[in-house]
Amino acid sequence: MTMAGNLRKVTGLGRVGGLRRVARLARRRPRVDLSHPARSPLGSSVVNCVAYRDGVRAPSGSDLVETVERVRKQGHGFVWLGLHEPTNAEFAGIAELFDLHPLAVEDAVEAHQRPKVERYGETLFAVFKTVCYVEHEQLTATSEVVNTGEIMVFVGPDFVITVRHGRHGSLGPLREELESDTAQLAKGPSAVLHAIADHVVDDYLHVTDAMQVDIDQVETDVFAADAARVDPGRIYQLKRELLELKRAVVPLGRPLLDLADRPVRAVDPEIQAYFRDVSDHLLRVTEQIASFDELLNSILQAHLAQVTVAQNEDMRKITAWAAVIAVPTMVCGIYGMNFDHMPELRWRFGYPLVLGVIATVCLALYRGFRRNGWL
């Protein structure tokens, strides 16, 4: 079947996936930043659909199918389609129009994927974990520090499809930044892939810098005068959030190296050098995460050691006071047995003598314990 026949077939998918209706909504609607909790005000998953030629916006058709048809007839340029949490029905027509692999389509719709880069013929499918730092006035044992989302990217010879999951990581500012650099955008779809990877890794750097502040605060509290009162749950919470960040960052290292070093049909050779720079930034983030993990382990061990020392000091004080109290307890216990024949029972100075002996012994014990640091 010819290309025109394929396109006519896709345009008839209105009953299945509502492709034309979704595309028209994307063309008519204003740009929406989906970083806030609300979905698109029109209820569509399409955020934006723009054709580019030589790094600048090109005239678009009345819908997505016509826009793609124009780009393919001209033989150069590409279409950038942005989606936010599409359903299977919304993505079905798009997947057929761009001939996307079913496994990649399933991953893009279902989300919760591990960062990766896969090749399906001439199409490259990449998964990036996005992260954002959750602002909080005070770190507690239940504070959320890192929030994660996902961006899936389909890169073909004449198209880029971005599928975003989560309430953060909007690509609107990135699109505007790319459009201001026409020379870079003119290098094709792989330039968009690089820009997204660079944007995601830059967010990693921002999150690690923000987490550094939290870790420094916990470290300061642990070595403060009242360190024993520090809630260890705060340290465990930071370690849990750091683990979530690690799951987003570390698996991306190998795919970025492959994009930088191995020839990939969907990636322009000039773009590969840029991926090396992104890979270097990711390595820096990975090293920061490893150092944070070691530092938190040391902070936790120091806190537990301080708690143990504080408990030992408390036990020494309790033991010292128990020894002091044992003297009058023992003497009073002996003279409380009420035997008839006991020394000094009927002696006139017996009572003040016993009190004097008790006071003298207790004072001597108290001074001894104070001198040795037990009290």
pLDDT digits (tens, 9 = 90+) for 325-373: 888 888 787 777 776 667 766 777 777 877 888 888 888 888 888 888 7
Query: Is 336 within the bounds of a domain?
Result: yes
| 187 token code pair | 């290098």
- For residue 80, give Cα distances in angstroms to 22, 52, 97, 190, 318: 15, 8, 14, 11, 73
Low-confidence residues of the chain: pLDDT under 70: 1-44, 61-62, 225-229, 339-341, 344-345
99 torsion bin: left (phi>0), alpha (psi -120 to 50), beta (else): left
Clarify whether residues 162 and 197 are in a common domain.
yes
Clarify whether residues 353 and 327 are in a common domain.
yes
Tell me the helix, strand and coil percentages in the chain, rounded to 5.
60, 15, 30
Query: Is 8 within the bounds of a domain?
Result: no
Query: Is 140 within the bounds of a domain?
Result: yes
> End of a domain among 303, 330, 351?
303
Instruction: To the nearest 10°, report the CA torsion of 6, 12, 16, 19.
Output: 80
How many residues belong to the chain? 375
Give the pLDDT score at 358: 83
Clarify whether residues 92 and 230 are in a common domain.
yes
Give the pLDDT score at 151: 93
- Looking at residue 151, the DSSP 8-state letter turns out to be E
> End of a domain among 256, 287, 303?
303
Query: Is 26 within the bounds of a domain?
Result: no
- For residue 37, give Cα distances in angstroms to 40, 91, 168, 170, 176: 10, 21, 9, 12, 22
Clarify whether residues 257 and 117 are in a common domain.
yes
Strand order in the sheet with 78-84: 56-58, 46-53, 78-84, 159-165, 146-155, 123-133, 116-120
| 97 token code pair | 């129009």
Query: Is 316 within the bounds of a domain?
Result: yes
Give the pLDDT score at 344: 67
Give the pLDDT score at 227: 61
Clarify whether residues 245 and 102 are in a common domain.
yes
| 2 token code pair | 């010819």
Clarify whether residues 234 and 355 are in a common domain.
no
Clarify whether residues 136 and 246 are in a common domain.
yes
Query: Which class for 334: exposed (0-12), middle (13-18), buried (19 or more C-beta within 10 A)?
Result: exposed
Give the pLDDT score at 44: 60
Clarify whether residues 139 and 242 are in a common domain.
yes
User: Would you say 20 and 11 are in contact if contact means Cβ atoms under 8 Å apart?
Assistant: yes
Clarify whether residues 362 and 220 are in a common domain.
no
Alpha carbons 200 and 176: distance in angstroms, whole number:
16
| 5 token code pair | 């026949």
**For the chain, how long is the longest CA-to-CA vector?**
127
Alpha carbons 357 and 310: distance in angstroms, whole number:
34
Clarify whether residues 90 and 171 are in a common domain.
yes
Clarify whether residues 323 and 262 are in a common domain.
no
Neighbours of 103 (CB within 10 A): 11
Number of structural domains, the chain? Answer: 2
Give the pLDDT score at 292: 92
Clarify whether residues 190 and 326 are in a common domain.
no
Give the pLDDT score at 127: 94
| C-alpha neighbours within 13 Å on the C-beta side of residue 332 | 9
Range of 123's domain? 46-303
CATH number at residue 363: 1.20.58.340
CATH number at residue 88: 3.30.460.20
Query: Is 20 within the bounds of a domain?
Result: no
- Looking at residue 85, the DSSP 8-state letter turns out to be S
Alpha carbons 339 and 351: distance in angstroms, whole number:
16
Give the pLDDT score at 38: 32
